[in-house]
Amino acid sequence: MTPTVRVLLCTYLTALFISIVFRIAHVVIRGRSNRKPAVGFSHPYTNDGGGGERVLWCAVKAIQEEYLNLDCLIYTGDSDASPQTLVARAIDRFGVALLRPPKGASAPEVCRRRPLPKLCRRHPPLELYRYRIHCAFPRLPS
């Protein structure tokens, strides 16, 4: 194979590779732009009945009132959580009437356990932030 043919072949393959990469990027970006906007809340125990749950439902209601086109997603570790039971719980326990039911999603069981104190010795806020990121990655939409 002569050097000229090698250069032409390498140029052709490089151009082909670049066009494939741009095509894939275009498809991914176009697919993400067609999604409906949403906001997600992570609360491992939505049936606990504590103060944190009331804050969750008040935040969901405030988001629904302020941004009418946003969907609210609740990531929870409760396997029995459906949108209808979540709305019923918010009304029965806390008197918070949501405008529309949130979309429920289950969370990995590993994120229901609390972070161990030995993980948070040096920089507690930084370690807790790292732990939350660790729990959030499996919940991100694909």
Q: Which two tokens stand for residue 11?
A: 């140029």
Same structural domain for residues 13 and 51? no
Same structural domain for residues 75 and 20? no
Query: Mean pLDDT for the chain?
Result: 76
Side chain identity at residue 7, one-letter code: V
Same structural domain for residues 31 and 42? no
Same structural domain for residues 23 and 68? no
How many independent structural domains does the chain possess?
3
Mean pLDDT, to the nearest integer, of 101-107? Answer: 70
Which range of residues forms the domain containing residue 133? 111-142
Q: Does residue 82 register a pLDDT over 60?
A: yes
For 44-56, how does the pLDDT look when each residue is reduced to its tens digit (9 = 90+)? 677 666 667 888 8
Same structural domain for residues 81 and 21? no
Same structural domain for residues 123 and 75? no
Same structural domain for residues 85 and 135? no
Same structural domain for residues 103 and 118? no
Same structural domain for residues 94 and 133? no
For 109-125, how does the pLDDT look when each residue is reduced to its tens digit (9 = 90+)? 555 555 555 655 665 66
Same structural domain for residues 17 and 56? no
Same structural domain for residues 44 and 100? yes
